[in-house]
Amino acid sequence: MSPHSSAPDQTGQDRTIHQPIRPARHPGRWVAIAFVVLLVAMFVNTLITNPRFEWPVVAQYFTSGTILLGVQRTLELTAIAMLSGVGLGVVLAVMRLSPNPVLSSASWLFVWFFRGSPLLVQLLLWYNLSALFPDISLGIPFTGVEFIKIDANVLITPYLAALLGLGLNEAAYSAEIIRAGIISIDHGQTEAAQSIGMSRGRLLRRVVLPQAMRVIIPPLGNDTINMLKMSALVSIIAVPELLFAAQTIYSRTFETIPLLLVAVIWYLIVVSVLSAIQYYIERYYARGASRNLPLTPLQALRKFFGIRFGARPSTAR
Amino acid sequence: MSVESKETSPRIMVQATGVRKSFGPLEVLKGIDLALPHGEVMCLLGQSGSGKSTFLRCINHLERIDFGRIRVDGDLIGYNEKNGYLREMHEHEIARQRIHIGMVFQHFNLFPHMTALQNVIEGPIGVKREKRDEVRERAVAILERVGLADKLDAYPRQLSGGQQQRVAIARALAMRPKLILFDEPTSALDPELVSDVLDVMRDLAESGMTMIVVTHEIAFAREVADRVVFMADGEIVEQGRPGEVLGNPKHPQTQAFLAKVLV
Ligand SMILES: Nc1ncnc2c1ncn2[C@@H]1O[C@H](COP(=O)(O)OP(=O)(O)OP(=O)(O)O)[C@@H](O)[C@H]1O
Ligand SMILES: [Mg+2]
């Protein structure tokens, strides 16, 4: 460009007005990109060249029976703990919001205890429950009348202890999430529902919770992913989930790193699938929240290519 | 059912006697008495803060009253009378009374996760347990009547304010109420959308629906109302035919209010 190019011409107009606008230059960005590319290259390089990763061993155990069973256990634990935890969480949230001070304090106390103490300690407590209550019985309180009496050692298996620990912990966390969702809904919704004669239960089910879902789902998705990973903690009370399965194998073969890698890769796979599911659940509860639903990744792709290749003119019959 | 509602010659739809209500130390309603016969339209006017909304909300027990009685079609609202004292009803009994009393809010309060049609059928199907097919047919007819035949499957956020308010009116109508309460139904609307909503309300009034309308639309009150009630500081200071109250106000508060609104 000549130094005179932007000088006003005879009509007094700036001639640059006809030039396309160019984006600003960001030399710093290129430095950052080069740095990141370098780091990634170094990392990939070790992954490939360091023989102690023992990728063949990883491949060998990746789909072995013990590991797959561990994956199944982990999924089971996560699913049951989340479902029961969230179910109880709804009850706790409603109790907490109830005008009855006894109910709301009871809920507060529950959350206080289960959110306030470490999960690992809770798991150990459940696991050792028989030391506190040798027998567990069903009967009429304070009368000595008992219908069923079971040895706590028999009733509280490691698996049940794990479910109690994970589920009750999740209940405490999700109670707060759900309560936040419920109070985020405009009170006008409640009044409108009451004005057509809705009962409290129906109001909650049909009006408040479906709308609160938009606020509830993202943190609950977060909780689910957390739960998946926290379920590894129950390996300490000998529940044969994914980490425990990996540990059983490497305690025999001493291939510690490859088996831990197997576990990590499985966790990452499951988390990725869960994230995708969460995306679709969020999309479902977004209906009515904005003027248009966001496209699914698939629809977005199709739209992109549809425009690129002019796939189907919209007027075609 | 009460004795007094039977002997008056025009049946009384809403009867309020000595209604008083306080929020903490603030007395918002200071003894409201009024009677509205079946099929009539009453417009409630008054300064902001005079207690219009509060009184309206007492009629379907969204607010509880401290003293007095409100009867709708002879039924005492919100309380059971036994041996001379009142006891507040259970939630489900109040819900049953509200079925007969429609309400339209200033901010529409449609259910945003339901389409227009779903909003309208929710009450009849979910609360009154009517048959889905019948309700659907009726709901479509009502939405047609309010001019929204082409918006059945639209979500509230895809509708203009005036359209939303007409869906809200349809939602109230679908319950086949005896009475509809309107709390400033056009105050949140852009001026050009107001007339669509008022047209629907005028049409309702002509079809014989009993209505109580809190509004600042003096022209609407003059044309449609059978009686106009003017409230100030929690009391009714003037009421009568719209011609009398709006054309020749007696009370200084009414005169001041109308002077301000009618410029
Ligand atoms: N829930 C509440 N708690 C405390 N005070 C309230 C409550 N609701 C209303 N009030 C007060 O009661 C008075 C009457 O309110 P109300 O909403 O009935 O007035 P209004 O006549 O409808 O006014 P507007 O025309 O502005 O809607 C006001 O002073 C208001 O601040
Ligand atoms: Mg008001």
Q: Which residues contact B258 (CB under 8 A, 6 or more apart)?
A: B218, B246, B249
Residues of A contacting chain B (CB within 8 angstroms): 186, 188-189, 191-200, 202, 206-207, 210-211, 285, 287-291
DSSP classification of residue A136: E
Helix axes A55-62, A256-285, angle to 10 degrees: 60
pLDDT single digits (tens) B7-43:
446 799 999 999 999 999 999 999 999 999 999 999 9
Inside any domain, residue A42: no
Give the C-alpha separation, A173 to A122, whole Å.
14
Q: How high is the pLDDT of residue A16?
A: 75
- ipTM of the complex, rounded to two decimals: 0.91
Give the C-alpha separation, B238 to B14, whole Å.
18
pTM above 0.90, yes or no: no
The letter for the amino acid at A230 is: M
Q: Is B177 on the interface with A (CB under 8 A)?
A: no
Give the C-alpha separation, A152 to A130, whole Å.
5
Chain A residues touching residue B112 (CB < 8 angstroms): 211, 288-289
Q: Say how far residue B253 (Cα) sits from the centre of its chain.
A: 24
The values of phi and psi at residue A147, to 5°, are: -90, -50
Q: How far is the CA of B121 from the centre of ligand 2 (A)?
A: 27
pLDDT single digits (tens) B35-78:
999 999 999 999 999 999 999 999 999 999 999 999 999 999 99
Looking at the structure of chain A, the number of domains it has is 1
Inside any domain, residue A205: yes
Q: How high is the pLDDT of residue A67?
A: 94
Q: How high is the pLDDT of residue A312?
A: 47
One-character DSSP codes across B57-103 = HHHTTSS--SEEEEEETTEESSEEEETTEEEEPPHHHHHHHHTTEEE
With a cut of 70, which residues of chain A have pLDDT below it? Answer: 1-13, 291-294, 304-317
Dihedral angle of Cα A59, A61, A64, A66, to the nearest 10 degrees: -150
CATH of the domain at A83: 1.10.3720.10
pLDDT single digits (tens) B126-177:
999 999 999 999 999 999 999 999 999 999 999 999 999 999 999 999 999 9
Percent of chain B past pLDDT 70, that is, above it, reads 96
Q: How far is the CA of B48 from the centre of ligand 1 (A)?
A: 8
Inside any domain, residue A121: yes
Q: Ligand 1: which of B54, B106, B213, B229 to mutate, most ligand atoms within 8 Å of CB?
A: B54
Q: How high is the pLDDT of residue B5?
A: 46
Inside any domain, residue A47: no
Inside any domain, residue A215: yes
pLDDT single digits (tens) A82-97:
999 999 999 999 999 9
One-character DSSP codes across A228-244 = HHHGGGGGGGT---HHH
Strands B101-104 and B179-183: parallel
Give the C-alpha separation, A241 to A250, whole Å.
14
DSSP SS3 for B175 = coil
Q: How high is the pLDDT of residue B242?
A: 94
Chain B residues touching residue A194 (CB < 8 angstroms): 60, 62, 95, 98
Inside any domain, residue A14: no
Contact (CB, 8 A) for B165 and B186: yes
- Burial (CB count within 10 angstroms: exposed 0-12, middle 13-18, buried 19+), residue A236: middle
Residue B4 has pLDDT above 50, yes or no: no
Domain that residue A154 falls in: 54-289+296-315
Give the C-alpha separation, B124 to B132, whole Å.
8
Q: How high is the pLDDT of residue A2?
A: 46
Average pLDDT along chain A? 87
Q: How high is the pLDDT of residue A139?
A: 82
Inside any domain, residue A221: yes
Inside any domain, residue A4: no
The letter for the amino acid at B210 is: T
What average pLDDT does this structure show over B94-114?
Answer: 96
Q: Which atom of ligand 1 is nearest to the CA of B55?
A: 18
Nearest in space to A196 (alpha carbons), one of B211, B231, B126, B37:
B126
Strands B67-72 and A145-151: unpaired
Give the C-alpha separation, A283 to A177, whole Å.
19
Q: Ligand 1: which of B20, B23, B66 to mutate, most ligand atoms within 8 Å of CB?
A: B23
pLDDT single digits (tens) B168-196:
999 999 999 999 999 999 999 998 899 99
Ligand nearest to the CA of B49: 1
